[in-house]
Amino acid sequence: MFKKSILGVAVLAFFPAFAGCVSGPTPDNMARNTMQTAPADLQLACASAATAKFGADHANALPVSSSAVEGGKYQIIVEAKGQRSTCLIDTAGTVHSLEKISA
């Protein structure tokens, strides 16, 4: 009887360790990999455009997110001087729009 209770306690003690051994999705099935982000040079071009338009210095204008949109363009969110703006840029590096995002 004593051996059975020790065995039961041992099984219960190791159960949480085995419960964490569940495999997650493969990298090709993860949500963050399903969206195409803008190349780094286009993100930097939008950050540079934001510094020119909104008067921030280059060290304070940072791209915080990007995604591909229709027509071979990218939408990039840039933060400069505590204000976020949205930049629409094509693959050639031409900025089509740069507008502040209202809070």
In this prediction, residue 62 has a pLDDT band, given cuts at 50, 70 and 90, of very high
- Confidence (pLDDT) at 15: 47
Percent of the chain with pLDDT over 70: 66
d(CA 10, CA 8) in angstroms, rounded, equals: 5
Averaged pLDDT, 33-41: 83
Name all contacts of 80-87 with Cβ < 8 Å and 24+ positions apart.
80/47, 80/50, 80/51, 80/54, 80/56, 81/54, 81/55, 81/56, 83/54, 85/50, 85/53, 85/54, 87/46, 87/49, 87/50
Q: Where are the beta strands (DSSP E) in the chain?
A: 61-69, 73-80, 83-90, 95-100
pLDDT higher for 9 or 91?
91
